[in-house]
């Protein structure tokens, strides 16, 4: 039983952050009904990829939101729900008769979570876009990547999931706490541009103090230093070096056979030459040789693992960081004491009438 056991959530099926949010909330024990596109509805542009993982732990209920009959039944489900999450462009749910006002009329305590790229308001709110576009406009994309190359998108981890899904989850949980004391729900407007910008807060603070350059690969945490970056090894593998603090840096250069006089840490003028020297040294041994060499030290050197290697790493295996439920996949996070909850695969489709009957009976 997770900490959200007893919480009822309606997830209006979508791509990206809504799907990830529904998975996280279900992993925490909430009962989530994922309302999917019914057979009579127009075909989706493309199917959700990764559903065997991202749809885990919740029941799919096919509906046609343009059908008045189905819409009335969805409103009946909403009447008994705690939360609704959706990721349509602004105005779509209102046109379907399922906007915040219509839902509040049947359930004043409902928390209505909305996640979009540009937000519910603003001159670009109706425009299309994807993770890379939201990162670009928020300022989060520009610092990423090599200094002599265009910015490199960090998969869709920062926009869709960090700036979108996790902001939606935290906003929904905060609004639920408020609804518990006031009896009134709230609309949560999670925009990926807002969330991605928030994630750059540290770098705005550093820039204001003159400690962050807007040149890529020229700063403390963007690969600009020889002691916080990745290096290629003899076998083509990589190691990650994160020796920021002086004592960790001391352990690093000791492990590389260097002395402090040969490799002063904060001599910025010498960083390019020192980086080249580190690169030459790491190229003399295989990745796993370096991993063993630095194991147990404070040098902060780790192998850069592929996703399949990460699932097999002894530390991750000991913690159960990855599990197998049809496919190998990340286990729920974070952990809650005395609440170990094995994940389950996506549950079979449930007809809308049956879902409504079950929902109503549970409320009785």
Cβ of 126: how many Cβ atoms within 10 Å?
A: 11
77-98 in b/e form (b: 16+ CB < 10 A) is bbebbbbbbbbbebeebeebeb
- What are residue 303's DSSP bridge partners? 239
286-318 in b/e form (b: 16+ CB < 10 A) is ebebbbeebeeebbbbbbbbeeeebbeeeebee
Lookup: tokens for 330 = 């990340």
DSSP string, 186-252: -EEEEEHHHHHHHHTHHHHHHHHTT---SSTT-STTTT-STTEEEEE-TTS-EEEEE--SHHHHHHH
Residue of 130, 289, 293, 313 with catalytic role: 130
Angstrom distance (rounded) from CA 53 to CA 328? 9
Angstrom distance (rounded) from CA 152 to CA 285? 28
| Residues 230 and 238: beta-carbon distance below 8 Å | yes
Q: Is residue 130 among the annotated active site residues?
A: yes
Q: Is residue 182 packed enough to be buried (19+ CB in 10 Å), middle (13-18) or exposed (0-12)?
A: exposed
How many angstroms separate the Cα of 237 from the Cα of each of 125, 178, 226, 305? 43, 49, 18, 9
Cis amide linkage into residue 334, ω under 30° from 0: yes
- Residue whose tokens read 């003159």: 210
Q: What is the side-by-side strand order in the sheet with 228-232?
A: 228-232, 238-242, 301-303
Residue of 13, 70, 160, 189 with catalytic role: 160
Lookup: tokens for 29 = 């024990």
Residues identified as active-site: 130, 160
């Amino acid at each position: 039983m997770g900490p959200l056991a007893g919480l009822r959530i309606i997830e209006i099926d979508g791509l990206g952050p809504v799907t990830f949010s529904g998975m996280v909330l279900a992993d925490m024990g909430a009962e989530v009904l994922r309302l999917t596109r019914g057979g009579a509805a127009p075909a989706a542009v493309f199917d959700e990829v990764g559903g065997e993982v991202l749809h885990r732990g919740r029941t799919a209920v096919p509906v046609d939101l343009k059908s008045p009959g189905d819409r009335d039944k969805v409103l009946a489900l909403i009447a008994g729900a705690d939360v609704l999450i959706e990721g349509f462009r602004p105005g779509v749910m209102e046109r379907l008769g399922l906007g915040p006002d219509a839902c509040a009329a049947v359930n004043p305590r409902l928390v209505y979570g909305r996640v979009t790229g540009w937000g519910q308001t603003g001159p670009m709110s109706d425009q299309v876009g994807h993770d890379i576009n939201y990162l670009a406009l928020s300022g989060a994309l520009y610092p990423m990547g090599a200094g002599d190359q265009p910015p490199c998108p960090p998969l869709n981890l920062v926009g869709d999931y960090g700036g979108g899904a996790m902001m939606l989850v935290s906003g929904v949980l905060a609004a639920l706490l408020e609804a518990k004391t006031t009896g009134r729900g709230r609309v949560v407007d999670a925009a990926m541009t807002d969330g991605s910008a928030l994630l750059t807060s540290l770098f705005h603070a550093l820039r204001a103090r003159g400690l962050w350059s807007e040149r890529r690969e020229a700063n403390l945490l963007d690969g600009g230093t020889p002691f916080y970056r990745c290096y290629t090894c003899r076998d083509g593998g990589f190691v990650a070096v994160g020796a920021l603090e002086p004592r960790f840096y001391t352990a690093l250069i000791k492990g590389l056979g260097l002395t402090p006089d040969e490799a002063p840490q904060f001599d910025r003028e010498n960083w390019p030459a020192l980086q080249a020297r580190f690169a030459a040294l790491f190229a003399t041994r295989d990745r796993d040789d370096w991993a063993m060499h630095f194991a147990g030290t404070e040098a902060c050197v780790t192998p850069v693992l592929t996703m399949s290697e990460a699932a097999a790493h002894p530390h991750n295996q000991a913690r159960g960081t990855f599990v197998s439920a049809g496919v190998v996949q990340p286990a729920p996070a974070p952990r809650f004491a005395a609440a170990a909850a094995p994940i389950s695969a996506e549950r079979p489709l449930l007809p809308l009438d049956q879902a409504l009957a079950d929902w109503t009976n549970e409320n009785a």
